[in-house]
Amino acid sequence: EKDGHDWFMRKEILEQPRAVADSLIGRRTPSGQLQLDEMRLADEELRDVDKIIIIACGTSFYAGMVAKYAIEHWTRTPVEVELASEFRYRDPIIDATTLIVAISQSGETADTLQAIRHARSQRAKVLAICNTNGSSIPRESDAVIYTHAGPEIGVASTKGFLTQLVACYLLALYIAQVKGTRFGDEIDEIMRHLEAMPDHIETVLGTAEQVYGLAAEHASTRSVLFLGRHAGYPVALEGALKLKELAYLHAEGFAAGELKHGPIALVEDGLPVLCVVPPKGRDQLHGKMLSGIQEVRARGARTICLAEEGDDSIEPYADALIRLPKVPVLLQPLVSIVPLQLFACELATVLGHDVDQPRNLAKSVTVE
Ligand code: F6R
């Protein structure tokens, strides 16, 4: 069932254009309005929500971090993102106008389930974003948005992550529509960008051979750093997690602006640093990222940069340059994570590890 691939993970990475397309089916009425019918949460209830807390673990937590940027920007509703395993131990401030969004691919993660139970005992409404029909997490939630990744068999989450991102974007846009925020006007435009994503992901999958070459070249490294900013920061964290779990390497993701506050001391000659470069926009994000890249390179790092098509400013500072399609900054994680997934999958393969069954890990973590 691996369709001729060596690993389920590789097959699942390649299935991402389809998984994202499936997650967008039926989300718009003929007049272009966004609909999330299956969700079972009334518009009046959503309109009353004045705070959102996202709870999740691992890769799903990083999807939640991206969601925070999107929800706050498009809906102006404050969002906290919390590791499910920490949530109930800090006496969180929750009431009937707090919406809890629990993100879980498997729907069986014990930490997330316990956090949901705690939130509901405090009268909060819980919306699950889940890939597994009828699993415990949607069953114990008030509402659910199902992702349409199809079964994810590789232990490392890939298409699960991308479809979680899509569900989070849809939720953000839906809240914007219901609340009538000023970004309501842009919903149509953002939806068109989302609908173009399967093609963009296909394009970025075209970098696979280049990425595999880079993975082979760096197979003897003992450590890899990942840098990102804004929505690219969770991507850096997720890229590092993939490498830890599959290649058993020291890998760390940082917000590029934090480098100078400590982590830059880690940089030494030959250290590979993967840099997720934000699109050139009106803000200063791009320029600041560029100076972060210059800083690490000046200290001997080998910079592997992921930057959008046509961004020439990166060329002088990139030892390797992987091209990304041009997309809005908030949606960039859907394309920028893909080369990082390919990198981890290939590096682990070169090292001779079992990519689908990494040591010490299970697909569903049903203990706290
Ligand atoms: C990483 C990975 C894990 C899961 C985490 C949460 O590749 O798969 O970090 O993301 O255990 O699992 P779910 O989403 O099933 O709750």
What does the pLDDT look like over 34-53, one tens digit per residue? 998 778 889 999 999 999 99
pLDDT higher than 80, residue 182: no
Average pLDDT over residues 210-232: 97
CA 172 to chain centre: 15
Residue 36's closest CA among 151, 191, 162? 191
How many Å apart are CA 27 and CA 13, to the nearest integer? Answer: 24
Beta-bridge partners for 227: 254, 275
Alpha-carbon distances, residue 292 vs 239, 252, 329 (angstroms): 18, 16, 18
pLDDT at residue 82, as a whole number: 97
> 164 CB under 6 A from ligand 1?
no
pLDDT at residue 55, as a whole number: 98
Joined together, the tokens standing for residue 241 give: 């997690």
Distance from the alpha carbon of residue 346 to the mean position of ligand 1, in angstroms: 20
Annotated catalytic residue 363: yes
Joined together, the tokens standing for residue 111 give: 């930490």
> 136 CB under 6 A from ligand 1?
no
pLDDT at residue 367, as a whole number: 86
How many Å apart are CA 98 and CA 112, to the nearest integer? Answer: 17
DSSP one-letter string for 53-114: EEEE-HHHHHHHHHHHHHHHHHH---EEEEEHHHHGGG-----TTEEEEEEESSS--HHHHH
pLDDT at residue 285, as a whole number: 94
> 58 CB under 6 A from ligand 1?
yes
Ligand 1: which residue has its CA nearest to atom 10?
59
Q: How is residue 278 annotated by DSSP?
A: P
Average pLDDT over residues 75-86: 96
pLDDT at residue 310, as a whole number: 95
pLDDT tens-place string over residues 146-157? 999 999 999 999
Ligand 1: which residue has its CA nearest to atom 13?
104
Lowest mean pLDDT among 20-24, 25-29, 33-37: 33-37
pLDDT tens-place string over residues 280-294? 987 899 999 999 999
Distance from the alpha carbon of residue 61 to the mean position of ligand 1, in angstroms: 8
Catalytic residue (one of 2, 51, 244, 363): 363
Ligand 1: which residue has its CA nearest to atom 3?
58
pLDDT higher than 80, residue 185: no
User: What angle do helix axes 58-75 and 159-179 make, rounded to 10 degrees?
Assistant: 20
Burial class (CB within 10 angstroms; exposed 0-12, middle 13-18, buried 19+) of 210: middle
For residue 362, name the pLDDT band (cuts at 50, 70, 90).
confident
pLDDT at residue 195, as a whole number: 96
Torsion angle of C-alpha atoms 51, 241, 345, 325, degrees rounded to 10: 50
Averaged pLDDT of the chain = 95
pLDDT at residue 366, as a whole number: 87
For residue 118, name the pLDDT band (cuts at 50, 70, 90).
very high
> 110 CB under 6 A from ligand 1?
no
> 85 CB under 6 A from ligand 1?
no
> 156 CB under 6 A from ligand 1?
yes
pTM of the model: 0.97
Q: Of residues 138 and 360, which shows the higher confidence score?
A: 138
For residue 57, the ligand 1 atom closest to its alpha carbon is 6
